Amino acid sequence: MAGLDGPVTERSFFEVAQRDFRNCAAVNFAVRLDGKLIGEAVLYRFNYRGDAELGCRIAKEYEGWGYGTEAFAAAANWGLYGVHLTRVVAKCFKKNEASRKMLSSCMRPNGEDETYYYFEKLV
């Protein structure tokens, strides 16, 4: 998810989404609450097997309310059932317990290494 090194703003989201679309690199979803941008979910790293990786981030003040889980699950389902991917994968840092819980609620564990927990969702 290149270009996502700061807080998500309307402008940064639009610029990255536009660039990713132009380069056929990713599908970017705005996560909104009452019209306000509170985060994003991004499907990227598409491959010839029909896989894609999914990432999600929610603004700090909206964490812990389930918005990330809802957005993540919706983006994964869109990928699997909307565009017929065969598998959506995700990972999170081992030290990020909140992300691990979110991913565990939407996907099944698929291994770990010294840095990450890995997850997947299949059709």
Provide the phi-psi class of 34: left if phi over 0, else alpha when psi is between -120 and 50, else beta: left
- pLDDT at residue 5 greater than cutoff 80: no
Cβ atoms of residues 107 and 54 within 8 Å: no
| pLDDT tens string 32-72 | 999 999 999 999 999 999 999 999 989 989 999 999 999 99
Which amino acid would we find at residue 79? G
pLDDT at 4 over 80: no
Question: Mind listing the pLDDT tens digit for each residue in 68-104?
Answer: 999 999 999 999 999 999 999 999 999 999 999 999 9
Side chain identity at 74, as an amino acid letter? A
State how far the Cα of 109 lies from the Cα of 62, in Å rounded to an integer: 25
pTM over 0.75: yes
The CATH number of domain 10-122, selected from 3.30.930.10, 3.40.50.10540, 3.30.1200.10, 3.40.630.30? 3.40.630.30
Total residues found in the chain within this entry: 123
Which distant-in-sequence residues (6+ apart) come within 8 Å of 31 by Cβ?
A: 37, 38, 39, 40, 41, 56, 58, 67, 68, 71
